[in-house]
Structure 1
Amino acid sequence: MGNDETATIDFMAQFSSLLISASNFAQSLLVPGWRLYQVLIVLGLMVLAYGLHKVSDIWLQNFVRNRDGWKTWQLRMIVQIRRRLGLIWFCFFAWGIWAVMQAVTWPSRSYLIGLAGTLAIAWLVIGFATRFVRNRFLRRLVTWCLWIYVTLYYLNLSDDFTQFLDNLDISFGDFRISVLTLLSAVVLIGILFTGARLVSNTTATTIRRNEDISPSMQVLAVKAVQILLYGIAFFVGINSVGIDLSGLAILTGAIGVGLGFGLQKVISNLVSGVIILLDKSIKPGDVISLGETFGWIQTLGARYASVVTRDGKEYLIPNEDLITNQVVNWSHSNDYVRLDIFFGTAYGDDPHKVRELAIEAATTVDRVLDYPKRPVCHIVGFGDSSVDYILRFWIKDPTGGLTNIRGGVYLALWDAFKDHGISIPFPQREVKVLKDSADAID
């Protein structure tokens, strides 16, 4: 008989013994005594905690509504406390009753109450601690694994259950992985990932505060730190639970080749993102035009860039498109942007005066620069019904919009021309009916 079969039989025997013990304990509750009294006290505390949960939850909601200016982390903490008010009340009363009974009677008469209080506190601490795991599925898995482990630990069943999970394994030649190893790896990696996220967030904040580093290099440095920390956390977690990755070398190599063909676009976007960050051609805050899209770079991700337009739409543009397509960066080397508007006046108006008024009107508009780049106005042609002009002016804040500044300059021209009697002609047609043609019609 193999070692695995022997271990399984031993565990089943222990499990049967556990069931017998549980049956004997349940039968002992049918006889009046301190075991029954402790169980009834625990059940009563559960009912009391549930009632207090409902009452205190309403009070806590009203308390929070009357408070302004709370930070996001404070509000999230209140939400987590609200979800666990019943458990908090149970811990408070269980340990209070346990302390009193320890002082006035035999310790054995409060053992079950202390055990229930201990488990409640352990579950409460695990519930709060695992909130730092951002991934929802991983957080739930880690939470349940820790809850089960601490419960078995305080019931003195952890060693037997651990041995049973270790016997449930899958082997490929020299490579062996058990359910225990897999669960341990998931829990440990979840904890290490949480620590890596906290460290990376702290490091990212420090990097972003350093004004000597350009915005693009800040993004690259933050991404590099995150990849490094998460990579270390993953491999440390795998090695800590005893998983030998060398046995998976061939399998991972084949999977890597398949993923290389299937994820060409993803890899291309990742490489393009690194190139963009290194050459600093585009950085957060830049104003760009790509095809019909005009907006501001909000964030640069590993796969795409987030561009927000004036109408509030957010476009996720793949990094590869920013490399291979023609992109207009309005604020690449400097923030100066020149805008042109066209207009016409009547032939009877003095063009010298028109040019002077146009330049003066443009300088009265906010955001239009008067120094070092002053507006200019030139005649560009003689049209059918007007003398055509171009007015060129400069701004330094394209993030404030382009259409609105053009509209402001047009309004300033309208007011200036109206005050000085300058007319803006529009096409007109006159229809003359000749006398002979009128007689023919009659």
Structure 2
Amino acid sequence: MAWDLSEQPQIVQTAAGYVLQGWDVTSKWLLSPAAWSQFGLLVVAFLAAWLVSKRLRPLLTHLLTPKENATSILSTIRRFLLIFVPLLLPLLAYVLTGVGEGITRTLFGSGDVIAFGKRFFLFLAARSLVREIITDPFLKVLGRYILLPIIALYTVGLLDLVTDRLNDTTVSLGNISFSVMALIRGVISGSILFWLGRWSNDQTGTYIHKQEEMRPATRQLAAKAAEITIFGLAFLLLMNIMGIPLTSLAVLGGAIGVGLGFGLQKIASNFISGVILLVEGQATVGDYVELDNGMAGTIVKTTARAMILETFDGRWIVVPNEDFITTRVINYSDQGSSNRYEVEFSVSYDTDINRVPDIVGTAVAAHPAVLDTPEPPDVELRGFGDSGVDFAVEFWVNGLDDGKNKYTSQIRFLIWNALKDADIEIPYPRRVVELRGFEEE
């Protein structure tokens, strides 16, 4: 039966043409002895691949499975290869089908059916890769919505046709014109490149931060430089893949420059301030700092725009990098540097005050955190108060007297116990009240 499609829309006529073309190919396959022989070879190739993979998969799994706690490079490689074992069956079927395709083309001069089967096994391998092997969410999305449709078009023989249509369709943006295929290629390539850039940046940053012999500021600067370099190269590669000349971006670069000069000047200022801080090493991750406005905390993270301080009560303060350059900053730097603290106390006027420095100094020096350098504990006579003689002991420690460290509180306990053991009285305020004008009856 024939249908007159001349009055139908163009899309209907095109679809009908594809259907009729597919029906002609299918009918030739069904009526051709060569096609039936190729179907038979496909079945044989699949059964042979299934039998081989059934015996080979347990052996490969055993050989590639390292010990549970092994951390060597060889163990890492074996773990990486182990995740691809599920691809054994479709890839074996693909290889054996390729051998069968060579045989059929030699005997019958045709191999379209078995070639279709070979592409189908490749599609099964890609499907297994996306479903069972890829675990990264971003790569799984790329595989599901980009890789599998491309392989499906390749399997049914429409990939070249779709590619030609996309290449013929162009899009113009000002002086720049490119095909839809170039745009799709750019999206795919950009996604892969920037994912690789993010992965490379994470690996590079981890490696740099493990270099303990480098100063913390140097490590931060090296990590930032590596990040800029990696993503800069990814951008240049993407422009090259899309076929966009860098000279055509001059107008865009000028617009960005104007934006930086007006609306983005604060962002640019903070970025440059962050680079200066990293180069000079005035403040880096782990330092305890106090700003001119009273904000204080430990630097836990540096970004291109700001530094993040964590206070002892667990709050995070985001401070622009520019504030560290334009205002006064006190850096207590608890990364190995020492700080001096003092504790005041008093003794009774009945005390032989010449004994106090030795008693208190010895007690404070016994604290495991108190340092002998730059100075040992120093007991000073501060004055003669209303209720007793005022003293203060100065001592040096590494770190800060807050958070997990309570140095002054612990030193006060030591002073109290030392004075009590020496029978030295710690005074308390006393007042004499005199009543006048009171007559006894």
Same fold (TM over 0.5): yes
CA-CA distance at 1:229 after TM superposition: 2.0
Q: Any idea what SS the aligned residue of 2:262 has?
A: helix
CA-CA distance at 1:238 after TM superposition: 1.1
8 Å CA contact retained: 1:269, 1:302: yes
Unaligned runs of 5+ in 2: 1-8, 29-34, 44-67, 105-110
2:397 counterpart (379, 395, 407): 395
Indicate the residue corresponding to 1:182 in structure 2: 183
8 Å CA contact retained: 2:296, 2:311: yes
1:123 counterpart (127, 148, 163): 127
1:243-292 deviation digits (Å, cap 9, x = unpaired):
23433432442244235422222212111110001111112332322354
CA-CA distance at 1:375 after TM superposition: 0.7
Indicate the residue corresponding to 1:284 in structure 2: 285
1:366-397 deviation digits (Å, cap 9, x = unpaired):
20013441011112122221222121000124
Higher deviation after alignment, 227-236 or 205-214: 205-214
Identical pairs, percent: 29
CA-CA distance at 1:338 after TM superposition: 0.5
Task: State the AA in 1 paired with 2:381.
Answer: I
Higher deviation after alignment, 10-19 or 345-354: 10-19
1:172-223 deviation digits (Å, cap 9, x = unpaired):
4542033221221122123333444444445445544555542212221221
Residue 370 (structure 1) aligned with residue 372 (structure 2): yes
Q: Any idea what SS the aligned residue of 1:226 has?
A: helix
CA-CA distance at 1:400 after TM superposition: 8.1
CA-CA distance at 1:233 after TM superposition: 1.4
Indicate the residue corresponding to 1:55 in structure 2: none
Q: Any idea what SS the aligned residue of 1:262 has?
A: coil
Residue 413 (structure 1) aligned with residue 415 (structure 2): yes
Q: Any idea what SS the aligned residue of 2:341 has?
A: strand
CA spacing shift, 1:423–1:20, aligned 2, 3 Å: farther
8 Å CA contact retained: 1:344, 1:425: yes
8 Å CA contact retained: 2:120, 2:155: no
Tell me how far apart the structure 2 counterparts of residues 27 and 337 of structure 1 sit (CA, whole Å).
Answer: 90
8 Å CA contact retained: 2:373, 2:396: no
1:269-322 deviation digits (Å, cap 9, x = unpaired):
111110001111112332322354443333332222233333444433321222
Indicate the residue corresponding to 1:270 in structure 2: 271
- Aligned Cα root-mean-square deviation (Å): 5.0
CA spacing shift, 1:402–1:116, aligned 2, 3 Å: closer
Tell me how far apart the structure 2 counterparts of residues 23 and 252 of structure 1 sit (CA, whole Å).
Answer: 54
Task: State the AA in 2 paired with 1:147.
Answer: L
8 Å CA contact retained: 1:345, 1:387: yes
Unaligned runs of 5+ in 1: 1-8, 42-66
After superposition, residues 156-305 of structure 1 pair within 5 angstroms as: 156-172=157-173, 174-210=175-211, 213-290=214-291, 291-305=293-307
Higher relative helix content: 1
Higher deviation after alignment, 17-26 or 423-432: 17-26
Q: Any idea what SS the aligned residue of 1:295 has?
A: strand
Indicate the residue corresponding to 1:50 in structure 2: none
Residue 352 (structure 1) aligned with residue 334 (structure 2): no
8 Å CA contact retained: 2:94, 2:122: no
Q: Any idea what SS the aligned residue of 1:328 has?
A: strand
8 Å CA contact retained: 2:97, 2:117: no
Would you say how many aligned residue pairs link Structure 1 and Structure 2? Answer: 401
Indicate the residue corresponding to 2:17 in structure 1: 17
Indicate the residue corresponding to 1:54 in structure 2: none
Q: Any idea what SS the aligned residue of 1:436 has?
A: coil
8 Å CA contact retained: 1:346, 1:423: yes
Task: State the AA in 2 paired with 1:155.
Answer: V
CA-CA distance at 1:424 after TM superposition: 2.1
CA-CA distance at 1:234 after TM superposition: 0.8
CA-CA distance at 1:224 after TM superposition: 1.2
When normalised by structure 2's length, the TM-score is 0.71
CA-CA distance at 1:337 after TM superposition: 0.8
Indicate the residue corresponding to 2:62 in structure 1: none
